[in-house]
Structure 1
Amino acid sequence: MMEKTVIVQQQDGILRLTLNRPDSLNALNQEMVAELRQALREAAVDPAVRVVVLCGSGRGFCAGGDLGYLESIAGTARAKDFIVSVGELAEAIRRLPKPVLAQVHGVAAGAGFNLALACDLIVASRTAKFAQSFAKVGLIPDCGGTYLLPRLIGMHRAKELMFTGDVVNAEKLQEWGLLNHLTEPEELEEESAFWAKRLTLAPPLAVAKLKQALHEAERSDFAQATAREAELQAQCLDTQDHAEGVAAFREKRQAKFTGC
C-alpha cells in the first residue's frame, strides 16, 4: 500500500496536515493536491476542527510543483487541469471557514510559497527560504501567486521576486510584513502549537464570518464592505457565542465558545 502524500492528525481542535513527499521536498503532484483538497473538505464540515495547521515533512515545507510530474503532462489537457486544481487548492484554503496556519521550515518555493500565502497566518523558522522560482524554469506563478503576493508586499516587490526567482530569507519577508511570527528552528513546533491553540479558543462562527468578510472586502468598495459587515455582524449578534463572550467579559473569565 502506498504511503499517503498528506498525513492527517487531529487533536484538541487542531487538524495538522503534513505534506509527505520528503524525498522531493514535498513537491506537489496530482495525488498530493487531491489528498489535501479532500482533507480540507472534511475539515470544513467537522465541528471538532477549530484550526488547521499546514506543514511539511523532512527538510522543507514545499518546493512547489513536481517538475518530473509537470514534464510528464506537458502539452496535454492534463497540464491545464492540474494547474487549475492547484489554484483551486489555494482557493479552498481561503474559503475554509476556519483559520489555516502555515508552519514553514526549509524551502517554500514556487507553488509552495503561494500555498503558504493562501493561509491565514504564517509562522516560519528563521532559517526558512522563500522563492517565486517559476521564472527559473520558464514558467509563471500559479497557485494564486499573481493575486496574493502583490496585495501583500506591493506590486513592485512582487514583480522583482517573480521576474528574478531570487531566494529570499525569512527575516527579509518578516521585515516586509509577510510573516506573522519568526522563530528559531528548534522552537518552530512550539511556536506554531502556541498560535494554533490560541486560535482554537476564538469563537468559531465569528472567525468564519470575519475571514469571509475580509476576503470579500478585497473585491469590494467601502460601501459594499460596510454593508457586508452589517449583515454578518447581525448574524453574530444572534449567537450563543456572542452571549457567552459578553457574559465572560462581565464575569472576568475565559469565554468558552461552542460555535453556536
Structure 2
Amino acid sequence: MYETLLVKKEGRIATLSLNRPETMNAMNEVMMRELAESLESLKEDLSIQVVILKGEGHAFSAGGDIKAMIDTENQLNIEDAMVYLSRIATTLYTLPQITIASVHGAAAGLGFSMVLGCDIIITEENSKLAMNFIGIGLVPDGGGHFFLKERVGIPKAKELMWSGQLFTGKEALKIGLVDEVASDGLGQVTAESYAQKLLQSPLAAMIASKEILHASKLRDLELILEKEAKMQSAMRQTADHIEGINAFVEKRTPVFKGV
C-alpha cells in the first residue's frame, strides 16, 4: 500500500494513479520515493505488458510541491529528491512494458516530465501542459531535458523550456508533444481503449523494439539526469528561485535579476 499512489492490476494492464488530489497531485518527497518504488516493482512484473499513468482528481499533476520547497520545518531535501527523480526517469524509460500517459487537467513542470517519459501520450482537448520550471527559476528535472528533446528536438526544447509556454491538448498535438487528443472528460476512457487495442497486438515484439531503440539512448539519459541533479541543487540557491517561489505563493509577477 502506498500513501500517495494507487496501483491497480487487471490482467496484463497496470494503472498507476497519482493520488494527492487535494494538491492537484503535486509531487512531494513521499510521492517521489513511492513512484520510484512502484515503477521499479512494475519493472520486475513481466505479467504486465501495458502501464497507464494517470492522476486522481482534477489534474494529472501540477508538478513539484512548491509548499514543500518553502516549508522551513519539513523542507524538501533536494539531494534526496534528485535521487528519486533519477530512479523514476531511468525506470520509466527502461520499463519492459508499453507506457501510456492519460492526461486531464494540468500536467506541469515535473508532472509534464513524467508524461513525456511515457511511450504514448493521450491528453484531453483543454488539458494544460507546460514545462514551466523557468517560472520559479529552476531547470527541468525528472529527465525533462531528455524527454522533451526526444519529442521535439533540441532547438524547440530550448524554446519551450525557456518560455515556459502553456499549451492546451489540441495545441500540443500540433507540435508533436502528444500523440492523441480526447474530448474533455474522455481521456481515461480513451487511454483504456488504447490499452485494450495494444493487448490485441504482438506486444512482445513491440516491447522488444522499445528496448532496442532505448538502449542506444540510455547513457544520454543518465548523463542528463546527473547534470539536472547538479544544476537543480545550484538553482535552488539562487536569488531568482527564491523570488520565483515567493512570487508564486504571493500570487504576483516575479522580478528576476538573472542571479
- Partner of residue 216, structure 1: 215
Match of 2:64, SS state, is coil
User: Any residues of structure 2 matched to 1:162-177 within 5 Å, and which?
Assistant: 162-177=161-176
Match of 2:77, SS state, is helix
| 43 and 166 in structure 1: CA distance in 2 versus 1, 3 angstrom threshold | same
Q: TM-score, normalised by structure 1?
A: 0.77
Q: TM-score, normalised by structure 2?
A: 0.78
Match of 1:186, SS state, is coil
Instruction: Determine whether 1:151 maps to 2:129.
Output: no
- Partner of residue 60, structure 1: 59
2-side partners of 1:3 and 1:148: how far apart?
27
2-side partners of 1:209 and 1:70: how far apart?
40
Pairwise CA RMSD: 2.2
CA contact (8 A) 2:43 2:91 kept: no
The structure showing larger relative contact order (alpha-carbon pairs under 8 Å, at least 6 residues apart) is 2
2-side partners of 1:148 and 1:186: how far apart?
26
User: Any residues of structure 2 matched to 1:1-260 within 5 Å, and which?
Assistant: 4-72=3-71, 78-218=77-217
Please tell me whether Structure 1 or Structure 2 has the larger radius of gyration of its CA atoms.
1
- Partner of residue 241, structure 1: none
- Give ranges in structure 1 of 5+ residues lacking alignment: 221-260
- Give ranges in structure 2 of 5+ residues lacking alignment: 220-259
| 154 and 211 in structure 1: CA distance in 2 versus 1, 3 angstrom threshold | same
Could you tell me which amino acid in structure 2 is paired with residue 112 of structure 1?
G
CA contact (8 A) 1:73 1:79 kept: no
Identity of aligned residues (%): 33
CA deviation vs aligned residue, 1:85-143 (integer Å, no higher than 9, x gap): 11320111111111110000100000111100001100110111111111101111111
CA deviation vs aligned residue, 1:8-45 (integer Å, no higher than 9, x gap): 11113111111000111101112112222222222222
Cα drift, residue 81 of structure 1: 2.1
Cα drift, residue 3 of structure 1: 7.2
- Partner of residue 256, structure 2: none
- Partner of residue 247, structure 2: none
CA contact (8 A) 1:87 1:143 kept: yes
Cα drift, residue 77 of structure 1: 9.6
Match of 2:7, SS state, is strand
